[in-house]
Amino acid sequence: MRRVYKYLFIVAIFLNGLSSFISYAQTNEPSLPFPPAYNKLRTDTARMRFLMNTISDSLNSGQLTMVYDMAKEGLRLAEKNQVDTMKGIFYFDLGKAFTYQYSLPDSAIFYYKKVLPYFPDKLRYYNLISMREIMIAFLNSGKKDSAMAYLDSLHGRIDTLAISNPRRYSISSVMATAYQYYGMFRTAISLYENSIEGYRKAGFPTSVGLPMANLAELYDESGDDTNAIKYAREALGYLSNMEFMGTVANLASYYTNLNRNDSARFFNKLADSVGALIHNDEQLHLRGPFNETDILINEKRYNEARKRLSPIKAWIDKKNDINGLIKYLTSLASIDTGLHRWAYARDTLLQALSLARENNGEVGITILLQGLSSVYAKLGDFREAYRYQQEYMQHIDSLTNEKTKSRLADFEAMYKTQKKEESITLLQKNNDIKDLKLKNSKQWNIIYLGGFTFLLIVTGISFYHRNRRLKAQGQKTKADLQMQLFRSQMNPHFIFNSLNSIEYYILQNEKRNASIYLNKFASLIRIILSNNRKDVVPFTEDMQTIQLYVDLELLRFNHSFQYITDIDQALLDADYLVPPLLIQPFVENAIIHGFGLSDKQGLQLKISALLRGEYIVYTIEDNGVGRKKSAAKNALNKPNHNSLGLQITQQRINIFNEQHKANSSLRIEDLYDANQKPCGTRVSVKIKTT
């Protein structure tokens, strides 16, 4: 929940109107006193240089209060002295003022476009970065078609820049943020990684900070806070002022998402310190207090969280920040939920849901629906709880479809980029051949033949390496898609079983059991939806998911069996990663088929996990009826039933072995007592850690 609304803060600052621009444009300049050193300068040229350098320093340090006035004064001096280059520079600075000082993207676009005629060379610095800023402003004002048009134009321009030119990578990094904003994550990641690698190879290693910080945000939005922390912490060594403050504040959010509250509080206080130093009100009055509130909620210190949250409302009202208000109401509902003030939480969530629907906040709507389902269950209104749960599931399906569309757009964008690069390479080779002809007109036949032969060799080598690369990429993509398919097949398998159990309790009017079951189910489905996007998850988190699943089945089977675990302490003390829910089908089979068909007492489910070198060995053992008896009864009761759980798990292990060059394995044993009668099943799964 916190991750989604953190991202909404970024969007909120773009929602002011053009009317504010008119009032700013009519301001008497300069409205604030300039530095004393400015008044001592004797020539207009010296004053323009002073203003240009001071504006640059102000933008870099986040001290924005004087940018507009200094840019207007510089433009006045440039027009007075007819210095076209300086006119273009001060128009650019005015665009920056409306971007960062006043947050008016339409006004910023107006001034950035005025820059272009003064720098007609499309590869010159001010032309390129003005195009970049126009693209960002269109993105911020919600005009996707215009933003994508400028994005395509920038693609064409940076492709002609030298590989050693750092401008190529700074533009690429900003373009990646646009793809990230529109959910095209694969293209964004590729551009970020190219920027980081390009800066280093070009000899500008200290410039990697911003693309690293942006890449961290992208991982956070994808649900991978571990990688988000990794990239954000590395980025800090290369950032300063506003970028440093924003990345530190993001780190506080990432650590909060992982429930590492001490680290979250440390980074939030650091962000507040930098915000105070550069006078950033957004951090001091909104982002910082929200982060601290989330930390207090994590620590179940709900009354303190309410006190910390209270002053934020005045700031939100002052800024007319709708997305901030939704986040405020959601945080307030979390506090009331923690204090068991279910009716207050319900009313607050309903208000937030109404605002989210008015603003088409699809992700926010989904989260609020889930919260309402849980709160209504606590209030004993299971009909409404079930209705909101059904609507929540429909929205989840909708979001999944949107993600699929984004992935398709991703592949299309990457394909276009590759085609452009190939066209540019071929064009460059043709130009090289023409140059050789012009320089050596008397020997054109020999040169033509040599050039043609050279082109054939280069093309042959290029096609050979390209085919190998595409083949390897195709195999990896196929494996990735297969793994996603298997997880998507398996997850609904027991999600809908749980929904049936909830419905059963509701129909039987067993309110207490329905409430307990619905809360555990909500926690389980939140983890499943999060892990569905990941190839691997922490071992401890995966075992917690299994525990939640077993808890639900214990409720469903009225505690007719005992659950016993034996976990190697070394696995609990370290951060080992494993494929999510790999052993869940075997746990499910033990309960549903082993115990569900048994009438004996003392049923036990034992799960052990031991560390053996770089492998984890799971053992799932039950003392149920055994596989043969279970298969016989299922053949009578469900003649058309065909379980895919075991097949999918074996396929997942096979693909995992291919991807990680591992020797993971699966073994299933039938257990017999002293009289050779079936007395259960033992499953052993060996999986390599990553």
Render pLDDT for 240-260 as a digit per residue (tens, 0 to 9): 778 888 899 999 999 998 999
**Kind of pairing, strands 537-538 and 678-688?**
unpaired
- Percent of the chain exceeding pLDDT 90 equals 17
Pairing of strands 561-567, 603-612: parallel
Cα 385 to the center of its chain, rounded Å:
29
Residue 406 CA, distance from chain mean position: 13
> Which band of pLDDT confidence, cut at 50, 70 and 90, is reported for residue 276?
confident
Distance of CA 159 to the CA centre of its chain: 27
Tens digits of residue pLDDT in 37-85: 888 888 988 989 999 888 887 776 666 778 888 899 999 999 999 988 8
Least confident of 74-83, 387-396, 409-418, 579-588: 409-418
Residues 99 and 91 sit within 8 Å (Cβ to Cβ): no
Which tens digit of pLDDT belongs to each residue from 306-361?
999 989 988 888 877 787 888 899 999 999 999 999 999 999 999 999 988 886 56
- Crossing angle (nearest 10°) for helices 362-378 and 511-531: 160
For the chain, how are helix, strand and coil distributed in percent, rounded to 5?
A: 75, 5, 20
Candidate ranges 120-124, 264-268, 430-434, 515-519; pick with highest mean pLDDT: 264-268
pLDDT tens-place string over residues 292-309: 999 999 999 999 999 999
Is it the case that residue 541 has pLDDT exceeding 60? Answer: yes
Task: State the average pLDDT for the chain.
Answer: 77
Better pLDDT: 102 or 10: 102
Residue 470's pLDDT is what?
A: 55
Give the residue among 55, 62, 64, 51 at the shortest CA–CA distance from 24: 64
CATH number attached to the domain at 534-688? 3.30.565.10
Distance CA 389, CA 200 (A): 49
**Strands annotated E in 555-662:** 561-567, 577-578, 603-612, 615-622
Does 459 score more than 70 pLDDT?
Answer: no
What end-to-end distance do the CA atoms of the chain give, in Å? Answer: 28
CATH fold of 300-379 reads: 1.25.40
Q: Is the pTM of this model over 0.85?
A: no
Q: How confident is the model at residue 682 (pLDDT cuts 50, 70, 90)?
A: very high
- Provide the b/e sequence for 477-506 (b: ≥16 CB within 10 Å): eeeeeebeebbeebbeebeeebbebbeebb
Residue written as token pair 């009909």: 383
Mean pLDDT value across residues 415-443: 54
pLDDT of 290 above 50: yes
Q: Which has more pLDDT, 17 or 70?
A: 70
More confident residue, 452 or 672: 672
3-class SS at 199?
helix
What number of other Cβ atoms are within 10 A of residue 214's Cβ? Answer: 23
The torsion of the CA quartet 672, 678, 680, 682, rounded to 10 degrees, works out to: 50
User: How sure is the predictor about 654, in pLDDT bands with cuts at 50, 70 and 90?
Assistant: confident
pLDDT band at 663 (very low <50, low <70, confident <90, very high): confident
- Whether 280 shows a pLDDT value over 90: the answer reads no
Q: Residue 643, SS3? A: coil
Residue 332: predicted pLDDT: 93
471 versus 506: the higher-pLDDT residue is: 506
CATH pick for 17-143 out of 1.25.40.10, 1.10.10.10, 3.30.565.10, 3.30.1490.440:
1.25.40.10
The pLDDT, as a whole number, for residue 207 is 82
> What value does the mean pLDDT take over residues 144-152?
83
Quote the CA–CA distance of 23 and 18 in Å, as a whole number. Answer: 9
Which single residue is written with the structure tokens 């291919």?
658
Domain boundaries, the chain: 17-143, 300-379, 534-688
Top-ranked range on mean pLDDT: pick from 22-36, 123-137, 608-622: 608-622
Same fold for the pair 17-143 and 300-379: yes
Strand partners, 566: 608
Peptide bond into 30 cis (omega under 30): yes
- Summarize pLDDT for 555-580 with one digit per residue, the tens: 878 888 899 999 988 888 887 888 88
**Please, which contacts does 540-546 make with residues 24 or more away whose CB atoms are closer than 8 Å?**
540/571, 540/572, 542/578, 542/580, 542/581, 542/582, 543/567, 543/609, 545/580, 545/581, 545/584, 546/581, 546/583, 546/584, 546/587, 546/607
Residue 488: the pLDDT is: 45
What is the predicted pLDDT for the residue at 250? 92
Question: How much is the average pLDDT of 389-398?
Answer: 75
Between these two residues, 7 and 592, which has the higher pLDDT value? 592
